[in-house]
């Protein structure tokens, strides 16, 4: 049986945001960047910006380990065994990791203990099981020759993760890269630097050769840029905003062409067709779709597109579900509405709402901070209507608990509204018509389309990623592993 989820005192934790190089924690770097708990704004530590010097040290350690450890050439089952031990260690320390994640991020303890740590360990196990299923191919040739296409690792992979799901983001990038035989240098967000280094320690404890998994702490403009620009980095994987993704592309091009996987922003629609008979499950999905992690999710269902005849009823149901959410610290089990990651993020959302209203939008509910809180950035679930396509609220992610409502009369009009001119990360469709459930997803421009659901479903085999300004490449699934492999053609003439 799973132990019951209980609240805890975050002050019992003493996290350290060190670097992790060659299998050991390492202090040092430039300046001192304060790290605050999102739930109450308390400064819990400081990290030092790695900068070019420590990034070069970490990349050098990864390069040397890739060349000398024998990891890439080891028998696939030997690599798999290490990954399985890593997953087991993560599972064995579920409570420790869950508390560390909750105390230092926006993830409530009920979610980290009940889902996040288990899904992180499950993802490691999925890629462990995939190691001996990496296959090449033989191309048809004349009798006097053979042509083989052989997959191989890139070498040193740079991974830069977002702050919204620190643990899961770190595992989604490091586990497939290591399974494919690469070495990894990971830079977590400076807002949430702690669980990445803990899982790196556990990987080495599981038997991963030292130097294959390194962590550097720091700011994106300095440490992140130095990592992307490093000439020995052969592949880059990034999760974050579209603007930062564009800057990473520019940095990568400045030092030569490098392949990238970019999982970027979204303005995901939740499209409700007129044929839906029961709005109760739809309302629950819509509410969860824009309120999970306080809307700080790349695939958040932030645009509700609903037939005019049912809009009032559905919005009323969603409002009631949103009002039932309890804002509170992430270390309390009662919390069902997370804090925003920082005061800066709350101020950004306030500015965006004000500008969107100035452009003609109306506030149906919410629109301001949760009252009665003097610490932590808690924001009311907010529903907007009449959001103009020229407004910032349409063009950019709120990345907070904000839902924009649009109504339609014609189904073709609804599909056109669902297809955002910039973003195409995810979409959901609600319908009782089986034919439409099969046909309409083909017309929705999104990397993932859920039908009668919203949000990533349990499991690890289905890939995730976007189109257009939402990025390219895929994480998780077979495609997530293949993204860390390059293919070499070997031609043998023997006639």
Q: Which residue has the tokens 């019992």?
A: 12
Q: Which residue has the tokens 């610290």?
A: 329
Report whether 362 contacts 37 (CB < 8 A): no
Phi and psi, residue 19, nearest 5°: -85, 165
Instruction: Transcribe 363-409 into DSSP letters.
Output: EEE--SBPTT-SSSB-B--EEEES--TTSHHHHS---SSEEEEEEES
Q: Which of 101, 190, 263, 397 is catalytic?
A: 263
Q: Which residue has the tokens 């860390």?
A: 484
**Alpha-carbon distances, residue 229 vs 56, 103, 246, 248, 335 (angstroms):** 10, 33, 14, 9, 41
Report whether 425 contacts 447 (CB < 8 A): yes
Report whether 41 contacts 375 (CB < 8 A): yes
CA distance 362 to 59: 50
Token output for 224: 């992140």
CA distance 276 to 286: 14
Which secondary-structure segment (H or E) carries 411?
A: helix 411-418
Which secondary-structure segment (H or E) carries 233?
A: strand 233-239
Instruction: Respond yes or no: is residue 263 known to be catalytic.
Output: yes
**Alpha-carbon distances, residue 227 vs 159, 234, 246 (angstroms):** 9, 11, 15
Which secondary-structure segment (H or E) carries 187?
A: strand 183-187
Q: What is the DSSP letter of 131?
A: G
Report whether 383 contacts 236 (CB < 8 A): no
* Residues in contact with 194: Cβ distance below 8 Å, sequence separation at least 6, in sequence order: 15, 16, 17, 100, 101, 104, 166
Which residues participate in catalysis according to the annotation? 263
């Amino acid at each position: 049986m799973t132990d019951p989820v209980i609240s805890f005192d975050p002050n019992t934790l003493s996290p350290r945001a060190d670097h992790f190089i060659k299998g050991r924690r390492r202090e040092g770097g430039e300046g001192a960047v304060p790290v605050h708990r999102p739930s109450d704004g308390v400064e819990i530590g400081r990290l030092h910006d790695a900068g070019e010097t420590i990034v070069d040290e970490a990349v050098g350690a990864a390069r040397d380990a890739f060349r000398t450890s024998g990891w890439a050439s080891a028998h696939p089952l030997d690599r798999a065994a290490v990954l399985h031990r890593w997953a087991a260690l993560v599972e064995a320390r579920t409570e420790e990791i869950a508390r560390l994640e909750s105390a230092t991020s926006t993830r409530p303890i009920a979610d980290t203990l009940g889902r996040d740590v288990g899904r992180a360990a499950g993802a490691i196990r999925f890629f462990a099981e995939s190691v001996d299923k990496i296959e090449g191919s033989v191309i048809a040739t004349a009798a006097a020759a053979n042509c083989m296409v052989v997959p191989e690792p890139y070498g040193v992979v740079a991974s830069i993760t977002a702050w919204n799901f620190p643990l899961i983001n770190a595992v989604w990038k490091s586990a497939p890269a290591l399974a494919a035989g690469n070495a990894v240098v990971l830079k977590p967000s400076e807002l949430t630097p702690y669980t990445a280094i803990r899982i790196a320690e556990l990987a080495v404890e599981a038997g991963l050769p030292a130097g294959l998994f390194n962590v550097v702490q720091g700011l994106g403009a300095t440490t992140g840029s130095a990592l992307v620009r490093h000439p020995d980095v052969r592949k880059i994987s990034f999760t974050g905003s579209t603007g930062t993704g564009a800057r990473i592309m520019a940095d990568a091009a400045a030092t030569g062409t490098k392949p990238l996987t970019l999982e970027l922003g979204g303005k995901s629609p939740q499209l409700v067709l007129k044929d839906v008979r029961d709005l109760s499950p739809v309302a629950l999905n819509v509410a969860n779709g824009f309120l999970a992690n306080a809307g700080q999710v790349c695939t958040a269902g932030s645009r509700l597109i609903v037939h005019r005849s049912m809009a009032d009823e559905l919005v009323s149901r969603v409002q009631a579900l949103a009002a039932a959410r309890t804002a509170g610290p992430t270390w309390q089990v009662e919390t069902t509405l997370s804090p925003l990651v920082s005061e800066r993020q709350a101020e950004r959302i306030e500015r965006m709402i004000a500008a969107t209203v100035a452009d003609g939008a109306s506030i149906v509910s919410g629109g301001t901070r949760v009252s009665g809180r003097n610490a932590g950035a808690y924001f009311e679930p907010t529903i907007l209507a009449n959001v103009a396509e020229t407004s910032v609220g349409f063009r950019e992610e709120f990345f907070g608990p904000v839902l924009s409502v649009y109504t339609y009369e014609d189904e073709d009009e609804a599909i056109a509204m669902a297809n955002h001119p910039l973003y195409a990360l995810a979409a959901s469709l609600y319908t009782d018509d089986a034919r439409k459930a099969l046909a309409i997803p083909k017309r929705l421009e999104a990397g993932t389309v859920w039908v009668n659901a919203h949000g990533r479903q349990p499991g690890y085999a289905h890939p995730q990623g976007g189109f257009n300004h939402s990025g390219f490449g895929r994480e998780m699934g077979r495609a997530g592993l293949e993204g860390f492999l390059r293919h070499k053609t070997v031609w043998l003439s023997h006639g």
